[in-house]
């Protein structure tokens, strides 16, 4: 106890010493029992003892996390066990449960519940079957609210562990549901009436709903599917009561924001929040029967018929109460809007909503869009916080304004004939009323707030305006005829123009007024309408661009932020060159304004604006590039140090790195070696990102890689030592925490090899990972590839896509390094290819799937059969990886055929490898999914076989391979591969782009469809997904058809190396000439079929002629 009391000391040295001493004591058997005794000791009002107990509970939790599993799994090892016997461990876990049940102190109770959770993660259900019965017994006893609270808390943590498990792994959860749901339902029925008067009742009811959520939100329990009415509807009757419980509290009685905050965080409103969240989730998941899996459709139908309408009534009641100045928590309001939004897509519920559309539109949604009193005060008092809140990425998930905005957008999108015109009419009245007051010079706050809501609504409908322009009339899905009041594209353009001219642009210019929040909102609306500019007059385009530019100098920070966003949207959305022409002369001003805003507040919108400006004016950025790099580096440092809780700053930091990449992209010619001037500002940023020990800055990693790719691709060589230090950091990052980023890392790593080959071959560094040993850059890079390819562990575990990308590192080394400089790599990977390629190459996925036991086949990459731990029998058949390894093998032969053949001759899998290689490369008909070779694979194979015949030392090695037919086979395949008449010019196929345009037209047609009141809203994309997911093939067969060949083809097209300049047909011609000079060609040719003999003659003649033309052209 004295030791634990030291944790509350203000002396850091005392606390540190106590921590070290506690670590020593925790290694002793019986430590868990002692800590539990201290944690469960009665406090009796002693505050210092409470801190000691909490420290003991935390120490016990950490001890269980570290050592409980080892105590069970490795109990035979004396130094691993927490206990002197297994019986002691069983006694301890039972004592922890009892201590939890009788604990009154919330801080200690939470820690003990976590201890139970950690033990259960290891022992439940197989080794601790009595846990759930004991918790259920404690709930049923009703001896004390504290006992019930502890039991429910443990039960919640237990079911949460199974919340997202698939059906096969949810059996323990099904057992918990069977044992507890009846009791929990009865208890909730008793608690709800007392929730307002008794805080404990609301807390217990909330825990019951949280347990219900964890058991149902991912997949329905079997009892709900078997008897939806008894086990499903009865729950939602209680959940409806939770939504409606409690008296109404007038907003006028809440005098401060603290009062509102306390009420929002009260147990009663937390209970309502969970009830509303469950309702919104179930309606979204099971509301449209068409998209529900077959087994759950009876429940879905029952829910829609018996639960959906009453819950809709409750949600409307909550919003109606709020419209009469009754308090509703913001989260519950947001969930109510979300529920109604889902109901709009369900015909039966939308029919019930129709009589209330005016209320939903004008009394619920529009007021929710208006600025609140707190926002108005914050705009003036703390503009930085206002900007942070208004750009909070979590707002889309939690903010009532975002939910109301989505509701309006979806109503207009799917039920346009009921809502669009009446909404426009109401918004017009609001805006006209404001303009009348403005003309009279007397604007009250209510009018300004209402205009803010109207502008917010118009911005939310911006996309719907755009959709309306794709056709002159909207088509009703069922009746297939024009609506009675069509709105054609000219009318929509006129509406947008009127909104901009009379209500948006003038508001932005009213700098003399104090209503800055309206100027900010008007700038935001301009962002939403930016895509319409191409439809408007040139005069309007110029006005929008000029006014947005002027708003960058607004005295209010939030207005400047939104103005920067408007500049971004105008440049990104409009194809009108006049926008760029207007903004181009003001480029210095735009950059300066963005920098100033970035120094005031962390807004990713502003950095995005800067990035768009750089992209659009790339050729003119060079004079400002160094200043840009400096400012972006400083901004990144400020944003990244803001802490993980500031999401907006984190996003702004990511945008800063993206803007760095955009800046470098605009300077791809590296004129006047500007990269050397920029590098000192960017390298420290990249070092901060790459050098973190545990990936603290991993969210910036991909953008950082892109920046490094530009620096190493366009920068002057040899690279600076600082750039090579980044190489060292990347290597270590891959080994520690950046394993999954190998696909992104290939480009910069290849640049290091290809552009500064001398340093790569001769450089080294001290590697902490290898106990401060010196490692060459070459060995370091090879070690990265071996993380994915070296047998037996890594090629079995790594993702096939990652393994394929890793082979490009070896290709880069073999293709860029001079012959003789990387022989050790050639030897190592020749052996690896011979060993691994026959394993990775196998039958086609579908053939394997049909022949394998469905339950034992593991889907990974294409298909993999066998246990990963059984390296002798495991056969991860991966055709695309086999192709990639064949490219590595061919590159080794091209680099040094003698090395490859030496290793092959001595390897026990020589014949197996040759059979697999020939079968794979030359597309044997026995392969069900045989395809034409990729250009890179075909080229490397030709270069490899030609090198075997040409390189002097290879000929001797060839005869050491135990195969009498190898040389005739090689010549046979060489003639198969070569092309007597290669295409001189390839033409691009534009069909893909045409298909994309057709897809876009189909999408817009879907968006224009309208649905009758009683029709569910359907979605072609959802239909296609659902049909594929639930087709007769089954998910395994669908996955098995996925091939990586398309991705591999894209990788090969982007891959560049010196072999691009080597004409493989010319090298093949040299090989044939050499065989002819040696008198061997005629003998080998006798083994060729007549067709190939004819092709051989034609190839020699045509290639010789082409070679002569090529030589003459070079001369």
User: What integer pLDDT is reported at residue 1027 of this predicted model?
Assistant: 64
Mean pLDDT of all residues in 118-135: 93
Q: How far apart are CA 493 and CA 531, in angstroms?
A: 12
Per residue in 553-605, pLDDT (tens digit) is 999 999 999 999 999 999 988 777 888 888 999 999 999 998 888 888 877 77
User: What integer pLDDT is reported at residue 46 of this predicted model?
Assistant: 54
Per residue in 944-990, pLDDT (tens digit) is 999 988 876 666 666 667 666 788 888 888 898 888 777 654 444 44
Whether the pLDDT of residue 444 is over 50: the answer is yes
User: What integer pLDDT is reported at residue 1033 of this predicted model?
Assistant: 44
The residue among 468 and 889 whose pLDDT is bigger is 889
CA angle 401, 268, 40 (to 5 degrees): 125
User: What integer pLDDT is reported at residue 990 of this predicted model?
Assistant: 46
The residue among 1060 and 464 whose pLDDT is bigger is 1060
Q: How many CA atoms lie within 13 A of 214 on its CB side?
A: 23
Residues forming beta bridges with residue 475, ordered by sequence position: 482
Q: Is residue 1041 very low, low, confident or very high in pLDDT (cuts 50, 70, 90)? A: very low
Per residue in 231-265, pLDDT (tens digit) is 899 999 999 999 999 888 888 888 788 888 899 99
The answer to whether the beta carbons of residues 566 and 581 sit under 8 Å apart is no
The answer to whether the beta carbons of residues 694 and 654 sit under 8 Å apart is no
The residue among 286 and 883 whose pLDDT is bigger is 286
Per residue in 195-206, pLDDT (tens digit) is 988 999 999 999
User: What integer pLDDT is reported at residue 339 of this predicted model?
Assistant: 97
Whether the pLDDT of residue 148 is over 50: the answer is yes
In the chain, helix, strand, coil percent, each to 5? 75, 0, 25
Per residue in 799-808, pLDDT (tens digit) is 778 888 999 9
CA distances in angstroms from 560 to 363, 563, 596, 638, listed in the order given: 32, 5, 10, 20
Q: Which are the contacts of 391, defined by CB distance < 8 A and separation ≥ 6?
A: 561, 603, 604, 605, 648
User: What integer pLDDT is reported at residue 19 of this predicted model?
Assistant: 65
Lowest-confidence range among 459-468, 831-840, 922-931, 1008-1017?
922-931
Q: How far apart are CA 190 and CA 142, in angstroms?
A: 12
Residues forming beta bridges with residue 326, ordered by sequence position: 250
Q: How far apart are CA 933 and CA 923, in angstroms?
A: 8
The residue among 144 and 334 whose pLDDT is bigger is 334
Q: How far apart are CA 539 and CA 817, in angstroms?
A: 60
Whether the pLDDT of residue 42 is over 90: the answer is no
CA angle 982, 916, 965 (to 5 degrees): 80
Q: Is residue 433 very low, low, confident or very high in pLDDT (cuts 50, 70, 90)? A: very high
The residue among 1074 and 1031 whose pLDDT is bigger is 1074
User: What integer pLDDT is reported at residue 963 of this predicted model?
Assistant: 60
Whether the pLDDT of residue 1034 is over 50: the answer is no
Lowest-confidence range among 218-227, 710-719, 797-806, 1086-1095?
797-806
1034-1038 long-range contacts, CB within 8 A, separation 24+: 1036/849, 1036/854, 1036/857, 1036/859, 1037/846, 1037/849
User: What integer pLDDT is reported at residue 988 of this predicted model?
Assistant: 43
Whether the pLDDT of residue 1001 is over 60: the answer is no
Whole-number CA gyration radius for the chain: 35
pTM listed for this prediction: 0.79
Q: Across 30-39, 240-249, 511-520, which has the greatest mean pLDDT?
A: 240-249
Whether the pLDDT of residue 795 is over 60: the answer is no
Q: How far apart are CA 14 and CA 6, in angstroms?
A: 6
Per residue in 11-32, pLDDT (tens digit) is 666 666 666 666 667 777 778 8
User: What integer pLDDT is reported at residue 987 of this predicted model?
Assistant: 42
Q: Is residue 491 very low, low, confident or very high in pLDDT (cuts 50, 70, 90)? A: confident
Mean pLDDT of all residues in 31-59: 76
User: What integer pLDDT is reported at residue 474 of this predicted model?
Assistant: 35
Checking phi first, is residue 924 left (phi over 0); if not, alpha (psi -120 to 50) or beta? beta
Whether the pLDDT of residue 411 is over 60: the answer is yes
Per residue in 644-689, pLDDT (tens digit) is 566 777 888 888 898 899 888 888 777 888 899 999 999 999 999 9
User: What integer pLDDT is reported at residue 203 of this predicted model?
Assistant: 95
Residues forming beta bridges with residue 482, ordered by sequence position: 475
Q: How far apart are CA 29 and CA 36, in angstroms?
A: 13
Q: Is residue 483 very low, low, confident or very high in pLDDT (cuts 50, 70, 90)? A: very low
* Share above pLDDT 90 across residues of the chain, in percent, rounded to a whole number: 42
Q: How far apart are CA 618 and CA 589, in angstroms?
A: 16
pLDDT, averaged across the chain: 82
Angle between helices 721-736 and 777-789 (to 10 degrees): 30
Per residue in 735-753, pLDDT (tens digit) is 888 888 888 999 999 999 9
Q: Is residue 340 very low, low, confident or very high in pLDDT (cuts 50, 70, 90)? A: very high
Q: Kind and range of the H or E element at 776?
A: strand 773-776
Mean pLDDT of all residues in 1082-1099: 89
DSSP code at position 720: P
Place of tokens 């498990």: 165
Q: How far apart are CA 367 and CA 323, in angstroms?
A: 8
Distance of CA 196 to the CA centre of its chain: 41
The residue among 26 and 541 whose pLDDT is bigger is 541
Enumerate helices (H) and strands (E) in the chain, giving the number of each: 61, 4
Q: Is residue 869 very low, low, confident or very high in pLDDT (cuts 50, 70, 90)? A: very low
Secondary structure string (H, E, C) spanning 551-568: HCCCCCHHHHHHHHHHHH
Burial 881-918 (b: 16+ CB within 10 A, else e): bbbbbbbbbbbbbbbbbbbbbbbbeebebbeebbebbb
Whether the pLDDT of residue 612 is over 70: the answer is yes
User: What integer pLDDT is reported at residue 775 of this predicted model?
Assistant: 93
Per residue in 49-106, pLDDT (tens digit) is 777 788 888 888 988 888 887 655 544 444 455 666 778 888 889 999 999 999 989 9
Per residue in 345-396, pLDDT (tens digit) is 999 999 999 999 999 999 999 999 999 988 999 999 999 889 888 888 777 7
């Amino acid at each position: 106890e004295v030791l634990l009391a030291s944790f509350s000391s203000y002396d850091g040295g005392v606390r540190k010493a106590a921590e070290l001493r506690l670590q020593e004591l925790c290694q002793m058997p019986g430590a868990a029992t002692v800590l539990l005794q201290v944690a469960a000791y009665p406090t009796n009002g002693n505050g210092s003892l409470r801190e000691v107990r909490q420290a003991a509970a935390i120490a016990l939790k950490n001890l269980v996390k570290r050592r409980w599993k080892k105590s069970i799994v490795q109990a035979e090892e004396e130094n691993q066990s927490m206990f002197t016997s297994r019986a002691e461990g069983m006694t301890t876990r039972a004592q922890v449960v009892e201590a939890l049940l009788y604990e009154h102190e919330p801080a200690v109770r939470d820690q003990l519940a976590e201890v139970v959770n950690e033990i259960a993660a290891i022992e439940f259900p197989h080794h601790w079957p009595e846990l759930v019965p004991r918790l259920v017994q404690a709930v049923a006893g009703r001896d004390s609210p504290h006992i019930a609270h502890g039991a429910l808390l443990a039960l919640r943590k237990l079911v949460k562990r199974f919340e997202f498990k698939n059906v096969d792994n949810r059996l323990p959860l099904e057992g918990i549901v069977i044992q507890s749901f009846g009791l929990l339902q009865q208890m909730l029925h008793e608690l709800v009436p007392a929730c307002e008067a008794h805080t404990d009742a609301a807390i217990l009811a909330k825990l019951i709903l949280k347990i219900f959520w964890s058991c149902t939100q991912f997949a329905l329990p079997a009892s709900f599917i078997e008897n939806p009415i008894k086990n499903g509807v009865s729950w939602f009757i209680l959940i409806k009561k939770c939504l409606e419980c409690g008296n109404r509290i007038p907003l006028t009685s809440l005098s401060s924001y603290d009062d509102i905050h306390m009420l929002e965080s009260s147990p009663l409103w937390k209970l309502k929040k969970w009830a509303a969240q469950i309702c919104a989730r179930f309606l979204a998941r099971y509301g449209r029967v068409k998209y529900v899996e077959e087994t759950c459709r009876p429940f879905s139908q029952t829910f829609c018929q018996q639960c959906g309408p009453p819950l809709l009534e409750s949600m409307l009641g909550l919003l109606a109460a709020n419209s009469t100045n009754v308090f509703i928590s913001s989260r519950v309001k947001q969930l109510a809007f979300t529920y109604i939004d889902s109901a709009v897509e369900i015909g039966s519920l939308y029919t019930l909503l129709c009589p209330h559309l005016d209320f939903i539109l004008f009394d619920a949604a529009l007021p929710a869009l208006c600025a609140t009193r707190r926002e108005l005060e914050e705009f003036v008092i703390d503009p930085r916080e206002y900007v942070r809140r208004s750009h909070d990425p979590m707002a889309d998930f939690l903010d009532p304004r975002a939910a109301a905005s989505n509701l309006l957008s979806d109503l207009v999108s799917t039920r346009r004939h009921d809502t669009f015109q009446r909404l426009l009419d109401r918004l017009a009245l609001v805006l006209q009323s404001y303009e009348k007051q403005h003309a009279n010079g007397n604007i009250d706050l209510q009018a300004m707030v209402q205009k803010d809501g109207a502008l917010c609504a118009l911005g939310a409908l911006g996309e719907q305006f755009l959709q309306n322009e794709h056709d002159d009339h909207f088509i009703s899905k069922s009746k297939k005829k024009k609506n009675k009041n069509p709105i054609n594209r000219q009318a929509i353009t006129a509406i947008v123009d009127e909104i901009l001219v009379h209500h948006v642009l003038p508001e932005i210019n009213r700098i003399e007024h104090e209503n800055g929040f309206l100027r900010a909102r008007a700038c935001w609306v301009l962002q939403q309408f930016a895509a319409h500019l191409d439809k408007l007059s040139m005069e309007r385009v110029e006005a929008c661009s000029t006014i947005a530019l002027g708003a960058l100098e607004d005295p209010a920070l939030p207005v400047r932020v939104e103005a920067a966003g408007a500049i971004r949207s105008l440049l990104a959305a409009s194809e009108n060159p006049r926008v760029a022409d207007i903004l181009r002369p003001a480029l210095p001003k735009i950059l300066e304004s963005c920098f100033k805003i970035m120094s005031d507040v962390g807004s990713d919108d502003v950095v995005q604006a800067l990035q768009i400006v750089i992209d659009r004016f790339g050729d003119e950025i060079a004079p400002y590039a160094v200043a840009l790099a400096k400012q972006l580096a400083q901004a990144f440092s400020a944003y990244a140090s803001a802490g993980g809780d500031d999401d907006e700053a984190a996003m702004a930091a990511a945008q800063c790195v993206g803007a760095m990449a955009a800046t470098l992209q605009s300077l791809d010619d590296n004129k006047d070696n500007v990269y050397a001037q920029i590098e000192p500002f960017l390298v420290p940023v990249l070092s901060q990102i790459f050098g973190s020990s545990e990936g603290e800055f991993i969210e910036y990693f991909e953008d950082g890689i892109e920046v490094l790719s530009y620096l190493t691709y366009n920068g002057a060589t040899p690279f600076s030592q600082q750039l090579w230090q980044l190489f060292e950091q990347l290597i270590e990052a891959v080994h520690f925490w950046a394993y999954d980023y190998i696909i992104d890392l290939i480009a910069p790593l290849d640049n290091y090899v290809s552009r500064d080959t001398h340093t790569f071959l001769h450089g080294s560094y001290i590697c902490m990972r290898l106990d401060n040993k010196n490692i060459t850059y070459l060995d370091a890079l090879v070690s990265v590839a071996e993380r994915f390819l070296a047998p037996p562990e890594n090629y079995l575990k790594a993702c096939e896509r990652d393994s394929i990308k890793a082979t490009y590192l070896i290709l880069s080394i073999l293709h860029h390094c001079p012959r003789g400089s990387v022989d050790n790599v050639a030897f190592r990977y020749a052996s690896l290819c011979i060993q691994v390629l026959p394993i990775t190459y196998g039958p086609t996925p579908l053939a394997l799937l049909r022949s394998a036991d469905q339950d034992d086949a593991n889907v990974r990459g294409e298909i993999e059969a066998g246990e990963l731990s059984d390296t002798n029998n495991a056969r991860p058949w991966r055709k695309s990886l086999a192709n990639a390894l064949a490219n590595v093998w061919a590159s080794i032969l091209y680099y040094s055929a003698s090395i490859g053949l030496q290793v092959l001759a001595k390897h026990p899998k020589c014949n197996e490898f040759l059979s697999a290689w020939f079968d794979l490369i030359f597309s044997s008909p026995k392969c069900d999914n045989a395809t034409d070779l990729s250009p890179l694979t075909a080229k490397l194979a030709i270069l490899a076989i030609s090198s075997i015949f040409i390189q002097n030392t290879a000929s001797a090695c060839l005869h050491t391979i135990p195969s009498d037919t190898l040389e005739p086979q090689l010549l046979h395949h060489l003639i198969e591969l070569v092309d007597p008449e290669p295409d001189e010019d390839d033409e691009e196929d534009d069909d893909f782009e045409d298909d994309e345009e057709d897809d876009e037209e189909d999408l817009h047609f879907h968006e224009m469809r309208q649905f009758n009141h009683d029709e569910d809203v359907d979605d072609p994309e959802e239909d296609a997904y659902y049909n594929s997911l639930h087709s007769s093939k089954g998910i395994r067969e669908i996955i098995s058809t996925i091939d990586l060949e398309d991705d591999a083809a894209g990788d090969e097209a982007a891959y560049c190396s010196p072999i691009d300049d080597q004409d493989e047909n010319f090298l093949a011609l040299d090989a044939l000439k050499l065989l002819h000079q040696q008198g061997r060609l005629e003998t080998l040719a006798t083994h060729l079929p007549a067709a190939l003999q004819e092709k051989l003659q034609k190839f020699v003649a045509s290639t010789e002629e082409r070679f002569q033309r090529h030589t003459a052209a070079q001369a």
